[in-house]
Amino acid sequence: MRAPLRFDPIEEAGRQWRLHWGEEEAVPMMTVTSIMRAQQLLLARLNELLAPFDLSFSRYEALMLLFLSRTGSLPLGKLGARLQVHPTSVTHLVDGLEKRGYVTRSPHPTDRRATLATITDAGRDVAERATATLNANRFGLDPLGQNDLSGLTETLRELRADAGDFAPE
């Protein structure tokens, strides 16, 4: 791990932004930069926690969709839609999970155009153990309290809804 900077680079960028464009323009820049940096930090923490299970966070998400599905199977297209990723990314994720023995791939029984991904017993076992590790580590969010997390989730939900990520009630 590298030594921390002696200053907050986002705060410094905000100072510079205020000088050039004003306070009102600095706040959104600092917010989006903070969100992007937090995403990088969280992804690194989560991938580190999941490494003993030979999973990345994206593979974990795909595995958990199958784990939590009614039958343990989903068509690759539905998996991609729920993960909100490109079909090529789904293929790559399922390839990785299949290689590790966590998922099998089979033709859909009623739709010849579709392929099913099905979680294996080994996949269920690793999903449970990996989830226990993530829960024990609060998904890498230790510095934040429950109220902070709830508020942040709701704020980001508004942003996602406005972007068309899902149809709000």
Q: How much is the pLDDT for 112? A: 85
Where do the H-state alpha helices sit in the chain? 9-21, 23-50, 57-68, 76-83, 87-99, 121-136, 146-162
Q: Does domain 54-138 have CATH number 1.10.240.10?
A: no
- The answer on pLDDT for 2 being more than 90 is no
- The answer on pLDDT for 116 being more than 90 is yes
Look at the pTM and tell me if it is higher than 0.75.
Answer: yes
- The count of other CB atoms within 10 Å of the CB of residue 23 is 9
Residues β-bridged to residue 103: 119
Instruction: Determine the residue type at 10.
Output: I
Residue ranges matching CATH 1.10.10.10 in the chain: 54-138
Q: How much is the pLDDT for 169? A: 79
> Burial of 57 by CB count in 10 Å (0-12 exposed, 13-18 middle, 19+ buried)?
buried
Residues 22-77 pLDDT 10s: 999 999 999 999 999 999 999 999 999 999 999 999 999 999 999 999 999 999 99
Residues 84-96 pLDDT 10s: 999 899 999 999 9
Q: How much is the pLDDT for 138? A: 97
Supply the mean pLDDT for the chain: 95
Percentage of the chain beyond pLDDT 70 is 100
Q: How much is the pLDDT for 30? A: 96
- Which own/partner pairs from 45-52 qualify as long-range (CB within 8 Å, at least 24 positions apart)? 45/137, 45/140, 46/134, 46/139, 46/140, 49/133, 49/134, 49/137, 49/140, 50/130, 50/133, 50/134, 52/133
H/E element, 107? strand 103-107
- Name the band, by pLDDT with cuts 50, 70 and 90, for residue 153: very high
Percentage of the chain beyond pLDDT 90 is 90
